[in-house]
Amino acid sequence: MYGTLLFDFDGTIGNSLPSVGGAFLETLKRYGFDNLTLEDMRKCIGPPLQYSFSHFFGLDEKECEEAIATYREYHAKFAHLNKPFDGIEDALHTLRNRGFRLAVATTKRESSAVSLLDRFGLLPLFDLVAGEAEGRRSEKSEVVQYALTALGSAPEDALMIGDRLYDVEGAAAAGVKTLGVLWGFGTREELMAAGAVATVTTPAELTDYLTRGL
């Protein structure tokens, strides 16, 4: 049985397509991408910013640095558009009350994740918020390993909860299994192919899965 639950943020706790996607759209216009839509940005929610700008849009290293700085300016303006998914607050309260230790493990900038969780009223539910900070922990595996160390948790005692293959692969690199969620931006096929132990479709199903037998 798992004692520590590591939650991804974008696509798992917060519906960040309007904020993250909007920031990507505005940033990419500076590089000639004028015909993209918000739906086109779904693929950018999950991977590190550097990966998205280089892999999906072909920006070189210098352009990526500039784009990331621009993206963060826009994201700060659009952050108010990020909202918690329906049912996630109840799920977190239930899991906390059932004795699980909760943490956030995201490649999102740590200060941004903390600010959003505070606005959502969810920050007190988490023992730790781990994310990218001052250029450190830009990879999911680094964030997960940092969270395990900070919490004093063994990998086999922890479970990652996320919506994209990057969550599964990053957690696996740190020795942690992942439960995939389907209310975010990934598919069941993507998550299972990456190695998720199972998938759940709603926050209520998440709590049922984790508290079964307790």
What is the pLDDT at residue 153? 96
Confidence grade of residue 137 (pLDDT, cut at 50, 70, 90): confident
What would the pLDDT profile of 185-203 be if each residue is shown by its tens digit?
A: 999 999 999 999 999 999 9
The set of residues, in sequence order, having a beta carbon less than 8 Å from that of 148 and lying 6+ positions away, is 4, 154, 155, 158, 174, 176
- Tell me how far apart the 2 most distant CA atoms of the chain are, in Å: 54
pLDDT confidence tier of residue 213, bands split at 50, 70 and 90:
low
Q: What is the pLDDT of residues 79-130, one digit of tens each?
A: 899 999 999 999 999 999 999 999 999 998 899 999 999 999 999 999 999 9
pLDDT tens figures, 26-72: 999 999 998 999 999 998 988 888 899 999 999 999 999 999 999 99
Using alpha carbons, select from 113, 99, 94 the residue that is nearest to residue 7: 113
- Higher model confidence: residue 137 or residue 125? 125
Burial of 73 (0-12, 13-18, 19+ CB in 10 A): exposed
Of the options 3.90.1300.10, 1.10.10.10, 3.50.50.60, 1.10.150.240, the CATH number for the domain spanning 17-81? 1.10.150.240
Domain extent listing, the chain: 4-15+83-211, 17-81
Measured between alpha carbons, how far is residue 79 from residues 34, 71, 155 in Å?
A: 22, 12, 32
Residue 6 token pair? 């590591």
42, 8, 2: which is closest to 22 by C-alpha?
Answer: 42
Per the structure block, which two tokens stand in for 99?
Answer: 């004795």
Looking at 3.40.50.360, 3.30.2130.10, 3.40.50.1000, 3.30.110.40, the CATH number of the domain 4-15+83-211 comes to 3.40.50.1000
Domain 17-81 in the same topology as domain 4-15+83-211: no
Distance, in Å, from the CA atom of 120 to the CA atom of 170, rounded to the nearest integer, reads: 26
Residue 205 half-sphere exposure toward CB, CA atoms < 13 A? 11
Which pTM value belongs to this model?
Answer: 0.89
pLDDT band at 214 (very low <50, low <70, confident <90, very high): low
Q: Comparing 8-12, 89-93, 114-118, 137-141, which segment has the lowest mean pLDDT?
A: 137-141
Give mean pLDDT, residues 175-191: 96
Given the structure tokens 């942690």, which residue do they identify? 176
